[in-house]
């Protein structure tokens, strides 16, 4: 049997009894980082052969998993934290197993973005999980623009060194919106910080973040998909003077005119 096993996202006690049984019964365990998984296994006195399964060797790992499974061995697949495949390696393995007709199952457990959604207090009746944004600015903005008119809460994963750039790109694409940054989920220093996209997230950035952004208002102006500068230019090209264009843009985006003024200086 092949099992994708969810592991704790912080607190090691957040592992299910079924997950522990699966890891104990496994003949081999495939993991994102053997050193990281070893800490979890040692905490529960589980000793098993470990094999690497990360984004650079998924096809090779999948072939080994298939071989072990067809030999009648129990195979467990884990990532460093949370559910494998979700913003983690494993999707390529799933595809290869499906194509090969090899059955597999899921052992559910902790999920960082679902915990963050609850901690954020943003609307949770409908949401869209997007995960990590591309590194290149153009690709980042292009992806964000696909979700600009979505009215449900948007959920992202974000590394600490990227969060300022990601929030700035979101503001330029979405305009002013409420957001929430959640980190250290289930740990002692768990934080859930509300802020506006125009303000950005204050303070030192440490640890992986789940970033949640309020969805678009019904009927929100599609011009908000433009950068603030292009938004002002749109109205100026339509014949308005700069003062009136600034006023209209601020109304569209729901922000004070003073906040947009710097974008208009060179126009």
Look up tokens 């600015």; give the residue. Answer: 137
Please state, in angstroms and rounded to a whole number, the distance separating the CA atoms of residues 217 and 252: 11
- The reply to whether 117 and 103 lie within a common domain is no
Q: Which residues of the chain have pLDDT under 50?
A: none
CATH number, domain of 155, equals 3.30.950.10
- Answer for the pair 196, 231: CB distance below 8 angstroms, yes or no: no
- The reply to whether 68 and 120 lie within a common domain is no
- The reply to whether 185 and 254 lie within a common domain is no
The residue among 107, 126, 156 that closes a domain is: 107
**How many CB atoms within 10 Å of residue 218?**
7
Full residue range of the structural domain in which residue 186 is found: 112-213
105-107 and 178-183 beta bridge pairing:
unpaired
Q: What is the pLDDT of residue 220?
A: 67
Q: How many domains does the chain have?
A: 3
CATH number, domain of 80, equals 3.40.1010.10
- Answer for the pair 20, 92: CB distance below 8 angstroms, yes or no: no
**Residue 76, SS3 per DSSP:** strand
- Answer for the pair 27, 39: CB distance below 8 angstroms, yes or no: no
Between helix 242-253 and helix 228-237 the angle, nearest 10°, is: 130
What's the pLDDT tens digit per position in 13-22? 999 999 999 9
Residues in the chain: 267
- The reply to whether 103 and 116 lie within a common domain is no
Domain presence at residue 97: yes
Q: What is the pLDDT of residue 219?
A: 62
Q: What is the pLDDT of residue 23?
A: 98
pTM here is 0.80
Q: Residue 224 has which token pair?
A: 């908000």
Please state, in angstroms and rounded to a whole number, the distance separating the CA atoms of residues 232 and 65: 56
């Amino acid at each position: 049997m092949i099992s994708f096993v969810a592991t704790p996202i912080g607190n090691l006690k957040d592992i299910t009894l079924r997950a522990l049984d699966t890891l104990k019964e496994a003949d081999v365990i495939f993991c994102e980082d053997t050193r990281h998984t070893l800490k979890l296994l040692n905490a529960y006195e589980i000793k098993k052969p470990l094999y690497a399964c990360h984004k650079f060797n998924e096809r090779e790992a999948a072939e080994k998993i298939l071989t072990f499974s067809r030999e009648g061995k129990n195979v467990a697949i884990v990532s460093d934290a949370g559910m494998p495949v979700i913003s983690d390696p494993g999707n390529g393995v799933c595809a290869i197993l499906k194509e090969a007709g090899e059955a597999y199952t899921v052992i559910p457990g902790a999920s960082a973005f679902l915990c963050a959604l609850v901690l954020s207090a943003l609307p949770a009746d409908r949401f869209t999980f997007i995960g990590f944004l591309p590194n290149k600015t153009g690709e980042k903005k292009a992806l964000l623009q696909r979700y600009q008119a979505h009215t449900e809460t948007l959920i992202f994963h974000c590394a600490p060194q990227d969060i300022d750039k990601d929030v700035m790109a979101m503001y330029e694409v979405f305009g002013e919106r409420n957001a929430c940054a959640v980190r250290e989920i289930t740990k002692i220093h768990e934080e859930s910080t509300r802020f506006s996209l125009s303000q950005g997230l204050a303070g030192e950035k440490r640890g992986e973040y789940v970033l949640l952004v309020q969805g678009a208002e019904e009927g929100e102006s599609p011009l908000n998909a433009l950068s603030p500068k292009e938004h002002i230019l749109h109205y100026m090209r339509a014949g308005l003077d700069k003062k009136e264009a600034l006023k209209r843009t601020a109304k569209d985006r729901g922000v004070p005119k003073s906040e947009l003024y710097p974008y208009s200086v060179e126009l």
